[in-house]
């Protein structure tokens, strides 16, 4: 971390953030922009936007600027990672709804990863990109349930390879609006359209994308199988508990595919469900994962406890 440093800019026409990276090669463009946005950088005593073009000769003062080596997960012992399985190679965590798996910035401290590195510091450097802290996959912040975390580099590589090969069987539970008695297998080519607010997925066929749009958005094939396993009511509203199995791992796969078929997960407002008063997250839970243990080579299945909303009488 660089603190209380200054330099004279000798380049004409360069952006402020680019000038910072040129002067301090150990930082990154993202950190330079972050420092400018936070007010930690002044140009001749004034605050300027990150994209301002400089004329040359300016005196630039930097109060605080992170370097690439600072891009790590900060430990936070106040975050409980809810470990339900642990051995020398991996952890299984039962993440609560409303908590992100990993931070988007080294300044964030309220994610599952922050709690993991506080208790298992060996996880901090693990991953094929920064801030993973050993997490070999992710689930949405508002989705609860199982997250697998590697404790060694070989375990991370082995588990990541299984996810990439789509050999990990992932089982979810979802409480949905309405009464359903029959299961189905859903197949869609999902893509994120950046023109839609938030990260909402669309179906390439349903939205009738042209070939150039398909090349730009690069849709991914998603397969989801669901079956009803219970029914309940909330006031006058009928609800169905679904057991869902997926092998693919497309962003928002279950949420998007169910919504595209007319089924809405309770409180998943992004995909068209009604809002539920005083509820954190939606009723989607990563219940279990079956895979090959990265060290023993034996089949392993890890299950989480059921969330309260899933404790229903099984369907007959």
Give pLDDT tens digits for 23-51: 999 998 989 999 999 999 999 999 999 89
What per-residue confidence (pLDDT) applies to 107? 87
Choice among 5-14, 153-162, 214-223 with the minimum mean pLDDT: 214-223
More confident position, 313 or 16: 16
pLDDT of 217 above 90:
no
| Residue 76 domain flag | no
pLDDT of 84 above 50:
yes
| Residue 89 domain flag | yes
pLDDT of 229 above 70:
yes
What per-residue confidence (pLDDT) applies to 250? 86
Closest C-alpha to 207, from 142, 260, 248: 260
CATH code of residue 42: 3.10.290.10
Same domain? 98 vs 191: no
Same domain? 191 vs 127: no
What per-residue confidence (pLDDT) applies to 207? 56
Mean pLDDT to the nearest integer, 182-210: 73
Could you give the number of structural domains in the chain?
A: 3
Same domain? 60 vs 97: no
Percent of the chain with pLDDT over 90: 75
Among 149, 165, 181, residue at a domain's last position: 165
For the chain, give the mean pLDDT: 91
What per-residue confidence (pLDDT) applies to 208? 59
Same domain? 177 vs 291: yes
Same domain? 203 vs 303: yes
pLDDT of 213 above 80:
no
Q: Which domain holds residue 18?
A: 2-70
pLDDT of 92 above 60:
yes
| Residue 315 domain flag | no
Give pLDDT tens digits for 281-314: 899 999 999 999 999 999 999 999 999 999 985 4
Same domain? 107 vs 207: no
Q: Is residue 278 very low, low, confident or very high in pLDDT (cuts 50, 70, 90)? A: confident
What per-residue confidence (pLDDT) applies to 316? 44
Same domain? 141 vs 217: no
Give pLDDT tens digits for 65-79: 998 888 899 999 999
Give pLDDT tens digits for 101-144: 999 888 899 999 999 999 999 999 999 888 999 999 999 999 99
Same domain? 219 vs 286: yes
Mean pLDDT to the nearest integer, 230-258: 92
| Residue 202 domain flag | yes
Same domain? 298 vs 230: yes
Same domain? 134 vs 192: no
Mean pLDDT to the nearest integer, 229-256: 92
What per-residue confidence (pLDDT) applies to 315? 45
| Residue 316 domain flag | no
Same domain? 192 vs 138: no
Closest C-alpha to 101, from 306, 295, 303, 286: 286
């Amino acid at each position: 971390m660089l603190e209380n440093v200054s330099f004279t800019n000798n380049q004409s026409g360069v952006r402020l953030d680019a000038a910072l990276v040129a002067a301090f090669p150990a930082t990154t463009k993202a950190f330079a922009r972050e420092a400018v946005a936070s007010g930690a950088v002044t140009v001749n005593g004034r605050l300027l936007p990150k994209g301002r073009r400089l004329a040359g000769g300016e005196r630039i003062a930097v109060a605080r600027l992170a370097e690439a080596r600072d891009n790590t997960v900060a430990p936070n012992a106040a975050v409980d990672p809810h470990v339900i399985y642990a051995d020398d190679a991996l952890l299984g965590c039962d993440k609560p709804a409303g908590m992100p798996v990993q931070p988007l910035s080294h300044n964030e401290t309220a994610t599952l990863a922050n709690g993991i590195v506080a208790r298992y510091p060996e996880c901090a450097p693990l991953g094929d990109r920064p801030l993973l802290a050993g997490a070999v996959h992710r689930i949405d912040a508002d989705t609860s349930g199982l997250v697998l975390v590697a404790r060694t580099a070989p375990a991370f590589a082995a588990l990541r390879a299984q996810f990439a090969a789509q050999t990990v069987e992932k089982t979810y539970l979802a409480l949905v609006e309405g009464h359903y008695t029959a299961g189905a297998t859903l197949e869609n080519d999902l893509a994120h359209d950046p023109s839609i607010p938030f990260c909402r997925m669309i179906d390439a066929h349903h939205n009738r994308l042209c070939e150039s749009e398909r090349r730009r958005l690069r849709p991914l094939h998603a397969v989801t199988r669901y079956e009803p396993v219970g029914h309940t009511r909330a006031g006058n509203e009928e609800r169905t508990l679904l057991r869902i199995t997926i092998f693919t791992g497309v962003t928002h796969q279950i949420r998007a595919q169910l919504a595209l078929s007319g089924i809405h997960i309770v409180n998943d407002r992004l995909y068209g469900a009604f809002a539920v008063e005083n509820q954190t997250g939606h009723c989607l839970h990563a219940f279990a994962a079956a895979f090959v243990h990265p060290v023993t080579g034996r089949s392993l299945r890890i299950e989480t406890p059921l969330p309260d909303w899933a404790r229903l009488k099984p369907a007959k």
